[in-house]
Structure 1
Amino acid sequence: MTEFTDVLFSIANGHGHITLNRPQALNALTLPMIDAIAAQLSAWERRVDIKAVIVTGSGDKAFCAGGDIKALHAAKARGDLQYLEDFYRREYTLNYRLATYPKPVIAVMDGITMGGGAGIAFNCSHPIVTHKTVFAMPECRIGLFPDVGAAYFLNKCSRAVAIAIGLTGLSLRGPGIIKVGLAKTFVGSGRVKEIALDNLDALALPVENAGIEQMLPQIEAVFGLASFDEIMTVLSARPGPWAEETRKILAGFSPTSLKVTFAHLSQARGRGLAEVLATDFRLSQHFMAGHDFFEGVRAHLVDKDGAPKWQPADLAAVTPARVAACFEAVPGVKDWAPPQV
């Protein structure tokens, strides 16, 4: 039997160490990885010799680039609908487990952190960023929506910033993440191996110029508007390279994803993580039963033609009723609920 090495576990100096170990795939999460992490957290929970848990990614490029969406695409192709349910149900349970774990959990985002990787990192008690951190939630590009509790943790930012990140896939480096309020601790990449619960304050570096300051007034002026239609109207009339580039980005994304994401982020503001994850699960199962996600993965990751054919193809066809239907329970699929501990 082949040894499972996609996640590595060790204990040193009072810390349990979890290392995501698929560097060739930018440490993308598979279902066996999710299950292994959940089992190890349970095993470590009552150990008195472990005072905190540290999560890192192997290799020099990524913490975790997200869930293994190629595996989801393959499951759909072979008709394995149960996998599409199990993956999201167990991933969201892990997100909730990390957020409610009785010991501190430190996530060291020393590299690319997107999608499911952000779901691990930002649901931990101590998300750490470095000079190498690159964070984004680019789900609308592939016909999905920012899930894994994103409508909870993104809403720690201003409403406009949360909406901008969710809709556009805006990429932030370590200092920018601190600036918008998603994390508090910035550590030099050369010192990540020194990170421990007791020395986070000593390792933390000050953040002065985050590089996003000039963009924030435009983000607030546009993405802080009350409705999606208002955002698009004002963005269309706004001059300048930022507005032009933002319009170009949104024009290539799934219209359904954009409108569902705006609705989800707006409705979730002020709600708890459990409620957000329950909604995430309903939405995920509607998207798994639909067209756009698998078309987006095909276009960008499988065939790589970069030309997804969205259904519907224009924003006007994504009616309020169509958006609302995505938030309803999925027939035959049990809703997600927090685990009973």
Structure 2
Amino acid sequence: MSSFQDVLFSIENGHGRIVLNRPQALNALTLDMIDAISAQLAGWEMRADIKAIIITGAGDKAFCAGGDVKAAYEAKKRGDLGYLEDFYRREYQLNYRLATYKKPIIAIMDGIVMGGGAGIALNCSHPVVTHKTLFAMPECRIGLFPDVGAGSFLNRASPSLALALGLLGLNLRGPGMIKAGLTKHFVGSGRVGEVAIERLDELQLPVEQAGIDQLVPLIEPVFSLKSFDEIVTVLAARRDTWASETLKALRAQSPTSLRVTFAHLTRSRGRDLAEILKTDFRLSQHFMAGTDFFEGVRAQLVDKDHSPKWHPADWADVPAAAVEGYFEPVPGIKDWAPQTR
């Protein structure tokens, strides 16, 4: 019997069950977890006795708070650049496997779901939210960008809301995710144990209103503008509280991350997931070669001084040519491509 307990696997009532089991770390994904899930999914895909897969998170706080970025930080410190390539390459392979799996996959986001956790859940065929769901893609705060196929799943929302979610890392609750168009399945938190592929419609709750309803009329006219510079210019020219708070929130994020994220989410519209993940991988490796990601992790998660020193420090100092460079192949690193099964 395996001693590996960070992911638990079982089969119950015709469903393969995957439990992310690092509740002390909000079920943050490690490379070992990614590899274990990928291998188990491969083993279950052709089994006639398994009709669907259900993925949940252990504990009462989180589905999955994201990838284990502290491990990436430590790998960079010790000079293990191979880990930084392997982690993102294999994480994106798992995202693609989930999205193209031959059986339905239900991911129950009963708690915090951010970053790499959203890459697990929102690439599944049946992502489920509850009253406890708290979703965000806050990568720009740590000097990264919304990856794991976010160019696909964030763009299920309107173009302007997708940009606001990616640039600001806005929080959405379960009803907000339904209203935004990120998923369709809303189940009471107390009934997640009853979820099965044949019961999703029966367990579905109505969504009449959500916190995002009040924000959308503010977001739409600003984040629908054609460039990042237009967005910040309009925000700066306005005097209302929302515009001031939004501009302040943008100023706290990595300027490079903001410009790359705007370009990536805009260019991802209408593209297929394989293309988006290929770009995600290029972007990830350019960020791994830079400084902002590691400075962001240091400031937010290691030293926790919440005072990152971004380079460049202002979005006006991030030239268009530098942004374009992030979309180019990374010297010495093979491009990402879907694995053949």
TM-score range relative to shorter protein: over 0.9
Secondary structure of the structure 2 residue equivalent to 1:170? coil
Change (3 A) 1:44 1:2: closer
The answer for the alignment partner of 1:149 in structure 2 is 149
In 2: Cα distance, 1:230 partner to 1:332 partner: 36
Structure 1 position 245, deviation (Å): 1.2
For residues 159-215 of structure 1, the C-alpha deviation after alignment (integer angstroms, 9 at most, x for no partner) is 000000000000000000000100001000000000000000000000001121111
Structure 1 position 272, deviation (Å): 0.4
What letter corresponds to residue 68 of structure 1 in structure 2? D
The answer for the alignment partner of 2:124 in structure 1 is 124
The answer for the alignment partner of 1:273 in structure 2 is 273
Aligned length: 341
1:302 aligns with 2:302: yes
Secondary structure of the structure 1 residue equivalent to 2:212? coil
For residues 206-233 of structure 1, the C-alpha deviation after alignment (integer angstroms, 9 at most, x for no partner) is 0001121111011101111111000000
Structure 1 position 2, deviation (Å): 7.6
In 2: Cα distance, 1:269 partner to 1:297 partner: 29
The answer for the alignment partner of 1:12 in structure 2 is 12
**Pairs within 5 Å for 1:200-219:** 200-219=200-219
**Pairs within 5 Å for 1:114-263:** 114-263=114-263
The answer for the alignment partner of 2:74 in structure 1 is 74
What letter corresponds to residue 92 of structure 2 in structure 1? Y
What letter corresponds to residue 71 of structure 2 in structure 1? A
In 1: Cα distance, 2:104 partner to 2:268 partner: 25
For residues 235-272 of structure 1, the C-alpha deviation after alignment (integer angstroms, 9 at most, x for no partner) is 11122221111111111100000000000000111100
After TM superposition, the structure 1 stretch with the greater mean CA deviation from structure 2, 206-215 or 135-144, is: 206-215
For residues 20-56 of structure 1, the C-alpha deviation after alignment (integer angstroms, 9 at most, x for no partner) is 0000000000000000000000010111100000000
For residues 112-165 of structure 1, the C-alpha deviation after alignment (integer angstroms, 9 at most, x for no partner) is 000000000000000000000000000000000000000111111100000000
The normalised TM-score by structure 2 is: 0.99
Secondary structure of the structure 1 residue equivalent to 2:148? coil
The answer for the alignment partner of 2:31 in structure 1 is 31
The answer for the alignment partner of 1:21 in structure 2 is 21
The answer for the alignment partner of 1:54 in structure 2 is 54
Change (3 A) 1:2 1:52: closer
Structure 1 position 110, deviation (Å): 0.2
After TM superposition, the structure 1 stretch with the greater mean CA deviation from structure 2, 2-11 or 35-44, is: 2-11
What letter corresponds to residue 77 of structure 1 in structure 2? K
The answer for the alignment partner of 2:104 in structure 1 is 104
For residues 273-308 of structure 1, the C-alpha deviation after alignment (integer angstroms, 9 at most, x for no partner) is 000000000000000000000000001100111110
What letter corresponds to residue 93 of structure 1 in structure 2? Q
What letter corresponds to residue 271 of structure 1 in structure 2? R
For residues 66-100 of structure 1, the C-alpha deviation after alignment (integer angstroms, 9 at most, x for no partner) is 00000000000000000000000000000000000
Secondary structure of the structure 1 residue equivalent to 2:108? strand
In 2: Cα distance, 1:312 partner to 1:214 partner: 34
In 2: Cα distance, 1:313 partner to 1:227 partner: 19
RMSD of aligned alpha carbons:
0.8
In 2: Cα distance, 1:8 partner to 1:237 partner: 52
In 2: Cα distance, 1:203 partner to 1:82 partner: 45
The answer for the alignment partner of 2:311 in structure 1 is 311
In 2: Cα distance, 1:149 partner to 1:324 partner: 19
Misfit runs of 4+, over 4 Å: none
What letter corresponds to residue 170 of structure 1 in structure 2? L
In 2: Cα distance, 1:284 partner to 1:119 partner: 14
In 2: Cα distance, 1:242 partner to 1:113 partner: 25
Structure 2: runs of 5 or more not aligned: none
Secondary structure of the structure 2 residue equivalent to 1:206? coil
In 2: Cα distance, 1:201 partner to 1:162 partner: 27
In 1: Cα distance, 2:47 partner to 2:27 partner: 27
| Residue identity (%) | 72
What letter corresponds to residue 151 of structure 1 in structure 2? G
